A and B are shown apart, each in its own frame.
Chain A
Amino acid sequence: MARIVCEQLTKRYGASVAVDALDLTIAHGEFMVLLGPSGCGKTTTLNMIAGLEEISGGRMLFDDTDVTFTPPHKREVAMVFQSYALYPNKTVRENIAFPLRLRGTPRAEIERAVEATAAQLEIAHLLHRRPQELSGGQRQRVALGRAIVRQPSVFLMDEPLSNLDATLRLSMRSLIKRLHQNLRATFVYVTHDQAEAMTLADRVAVMRGGLIQQLDTPEAVYARPANTFVAGFLGSPPINLIEGAAEAGAIFARGDFRLPIAVAVEAGRTLTLGLRPEDVSAPGEGLTTIEARVELVSPLGSETHLEVLTVGQVPLTLRVPKEWRAREGETIVFGIDPARLHVFDRTTEARL
């Protein structure tokens, strides 16, 4: 069992605040992803959970035990690092066995556990090698092995896939997801890659400047981003954010570009309008019709990305089915559902 509770968790380096009064409860068995750009405090938060960073303020509980001042080796957490952090002077076997050896596990049992772990990760044939003789993907498997061999109740992962190439990243991502399903342990996973966050997480905490911007399931964070930052961070290609102002009758306007919105806003309020690239369709009933000139066509096979310029010179990126055979320079007409538009206050950046 391991439920992680962060209460008003704060980390200061001199005058700068890396993590600012963070409140976060991670349920037992949950896969929590901390998502954000570099410098947002996600790794610092992870390190505080691990016990590798001293906590400047607030407290941390594992289940009901206060671990705020507990050193890392007494917290029973396992961690996987972006850099793999394998001991270069030890073989793969010794690397994986190391946490068990430190716990005084009997030799035969260590042997059994190492073999089982290696088999699970398909690295049994590498046990006698040293880390420098392994490829990046193999090293990361060994690092995973070193983490799971102790069967801890908390797994911490600090951008474990960032150093791998794209193909390997996909297979390792599924491997990590399967591990979570098999082990049912609590996972805290730090990444700046929104695809990893979306595919892996039970819940995502999107962070910026040491603060959690939004904490919810990936679907909810994607569908109803709490502010322009979250909206802009999730989604590929990224959401179209258009700055403008409200006009009477629930109309968003930027010059000649005018769109009805589903939110009641007093006229004159400055807004940022968010339109997901995929939230466009053929014109139809209940949809706002938009006319735009196609500037660039990027066919991806399964779908096509269009860069268009609407009336009022608003540039938009659209993700459309491959059947839309648009050509550069053509004018296309498409429909937008007002209910699918995201409306944010331009000053506070918050969703309206």
Chain B
Amino acid sequence: MQATPRRPVAPRVMRGMLLFCFSALFVLYVAGPVAWLVSSSLQSEAEITAVPPNWLPPSPSLSNFEAIFTAGERQVTYETRRQGDAATGGFLPSGASNLLPSLWNSLTVGIWVAVLNLLLSVTAAYAIAVINFRGRRATLYTVLATRVVPDIALVVPLFLVIRNLGLINSVGALVVTYLAITVPFTIFILISYFEGIPRDLYRAARIDGCGHWGALRHVYLPLSLPALVAALTFAFLTSWNEFVFALVLTQNVEAQTLPIVISGFIMDFTTSFSFVNAAGVIAIIPPVLMAVVFQRYIVSGLTAGAVKG
């Protein structure tokens, strides 16, 4: 057997080094802020504001987190807030006790949005992609047109609608609003995914005895698992991170979500970086967990071998 000719060594090394450098830069760019968030959440206020900065915590401490989880038990007033945990710089923000309820609100809204978004989008996308009904294109364009308007332009009209519905300051108001953002986009994504599933599989399922629900359940859902997981993640994250609508539509601990409460810490009399960062770390845990759990479902090639390629 003849040895396969190898490319010269120098360009290969150069290529590898370049790839490594760019990868490293990219990782730094993406992970840098997160690393600082985590690192500073383990530092005291004085350590965070030190110059030069402490990239790694000099004396790591969980006292910021402890402050968050015990904040609910303390009455924070102008007089008492300076008597907070020493690690937080000697004070607690006045909204600190709202943090855990808002975490719960965020989770509730996120889960509802993720689940309802999927239910609504899957059925709509199936209808538009698979069933040939009159007005199908018009429906699709109407749905998509709603996403052409910037969110900020919708804030006031949506506020009026939600207020007139009597839903202001409720978790339901946020769920409804976020669905209006995620559903059109998810429908669009799922339509293209469903249309990529060989039509003959649909035909075979119908012949084998499936109605439309059966075809959806036995063919379209199992074969579009990656898209469904992506849609679920997308909806949850959109809801989890949303700020403007939540700011306008909610007023207190009943319905406020994590971003609103955390931002409140900054607008207090002064800013507690340690407290904000510890809250930030808590805020990124659910999405990270979600990504870890779901990433194994996001694999391609599920339809390989369905029909002659």
Contacts and interface: CB of A to CB of B under 8 A. Distances in A.
A86 B306 contact: yes
Contact of A71 (B198, B200, B206, B308): B206
Interface in A180-232: none
A72 interface: yes
A54 B203 CA distance: 13
Interface stretch (A125-133, A165-173, A263-271, A335-343): A125-133
A81 B132 CA distance: 21
A83 interface: yes
B211 A73 contact: yes
B206 A85 contact: no
A84 B308 contact: yes
A47 B206 CA distance: 11
Contact of B200 (A81, A102, A130, A132): A81
Q: Which of A71, A79, A82, A83 has the most CB of B within 10 A?
A: A83
A85 B198 contact: yes
Nearest to B201: A85
Contacts of B204: 79, 81, 85-87, 146
Interface string B286-304: 0000000000000000111
Contact of A85 (B214, B223, B306): B306
B305 A133 contact: yes
B209 A102 contact: yes
Given A102-B209, A136-B308, A85 B203 contact: yes
A88 B208 contact: no
Contacts of B210: 73, 102
A67 interface: no
Interface in B190-222: 198, 200-201, 203-211, 214, 218-219, 222
A98 to B, nearest CB: 5
Contact of A131 (B209, B211, B218, B305): B305
Contact of B303 (A54, A88, A163): A88
Contacts of B200: 81-85
B218 A98 contact: yes
A131 B304 CA distance: 9
B223 A77 contact: no
Given A71-B211, A83-B200, A88 B206 contact: no
B148 interface: no
B307 interface: yes
B305 A81 contact: no
Nearest to A73: B209
A83 B198 contact: yes
Contacts of A134: 305
Contacts of A6: none
A102 B304 contact: no
A47 B132 CA distance: 15
A78 interface: yes
Nearest to B207: A79
Contact of A73 (B198, B207, B219, B222): B207
Given A81-B200, A83-B198, A88 B306 contact: yes
B89 to A, nearest CB: 56
Given A71-B211, A130-B305, A133-B305, A87 B201 contact: yes
Given A73-B207, A77-B207, A89 B222 contact: yes
A87 B205 CA distance: 9
Nearest to A78: B207
A140 B214 CA distance: 23
A88 B304 contact: yes
Contacts of B132: 54
Contact of B208 (A51, A102, A131, A163): A102
A318 interface: no
Given A73-B214, A79-B203, A81-B204, A88 B305 contact: yes
B203 A81 contact: yes
Nearest to A89: B222
Contacts of A84: 200, 306-308
A136 B200 CA distance: 16
Contacts of B209: 73, 99, 102-103
Given A73-B214, A88-B223, A89-B222, A83 B307 contact: yes
A52 B308 contact: no
B203 A88 contact: no
Given A73-B206, A86-B305, 16 more contacts: A52-B203, A52-B206, A79-B203, A81-B203, A81-B204, A84-B308, A85-B198, A85-B201, A85-B307, A87-B205, A88-B303, A88-B305, A131-B305, A134-B305, A146-B204, A146-B208
22 contacts: A72-B207, A73-B206, A73-B207, A78-B207, A79-B207, A81-B200, A81-B203, A83-B306, A84-B306, A84-B308, A86-B204, A87-B205, A87-B306, A88-B223, A88-B303, A88-B306, A98-B218, A102-B214, A103-B209, A132-B304, A146-B204, A146-B208
